[in-house]
Each structure stands twice: as structure tokens, then as C-alpha cells.
Amino acid sequence: MNKLHEYMKQAYDMKSFTHVPQEKQSNLKTKTIQGHRFYLLPNGDKLPSITSVLSARGNEGIARWRASVGEQVANTIMRNAANRGTAVHKLTENYLNNEELSQQGVLPTALFTILKT
């Protein structure tokens, strides 16, 4: 057991999850409608992709921010944020799959701890 996992088990309420096997979904087909991607469900319903949902907010604020800090700084900040998000996602998967928590940086671990509580 690694030190992070051992610490989290002692300091926080680490739950165990019982996974109930589900029938595997067939690969969903996608369809682009007016520039937005939708997943086509077997019953005929369409669900928008998360990118399509978020794009409705527009990117004017991000464009202004990028212009104010400069492209190089904005790219560095966004790359760091993406890496941090990937690390938090990995910790969450470990937790939900009852696996030993993988070693991640201090900030992703702190964010995971906040999300978990």
C-alpha cells in the first residue's frame, strides 16, 4: 500500500463500492447536427456530447483572458489545468474501482479530497 493510499484510509472516510455488472452497451453511434455532436441511443433518443453542451456558453471570456495574459502563458496554464484534471480523474477512478490510489501531485490530491467529501 503506498503512502498516499494509507494516509487517505486513515484520515478520511474511504468507502468501498460494490460494482454490479451491467450488460455492456453497444458502441453508440454519433451524429453531427448543426455543428454539434450527439450520441444516438438504441431507443432513438439523442444526447449531446459534453463538448457540445459546454460550447453553448461561448468562449468570449476565455478569448479575453487569453488576450490579457498572452498566448504562451494561456497555453501553459491550460496545459497545467488539463494535466491536473487528468490526475484528479485517475484518483477518482481508483477510488470508485476500490483500487489503491495512484501517486499524484499535492494539488490533484487536495482537489480529489474536496470532491470526495
Task: Give domain limits for the chain.
Answer: 27-57, 71-117
Burial class of residue 71 in the structure, from the number of CB atoms within 10 Å of its CB (0-12 exposed, 13-18 middle, 19+ buried):
exposed
User: pLDDT value at position 3?
Assistant: 80
Q: Which residues of the chain have pLDDT under 50?
A: none
User: pLDDT value at position 24?
Assistant: 67
User: pLDDT value at position 83?
Assistant: 95
User: pLDDT value at position 19?
Assistant: 77
Burial class of residue 91 in the structure, from the number of CB atoms within 10 Å of its CB (0-12 exposed, 13-18 middle, 19+ buried):
buried
Quick one: cell of 42?
Answer: 438504441
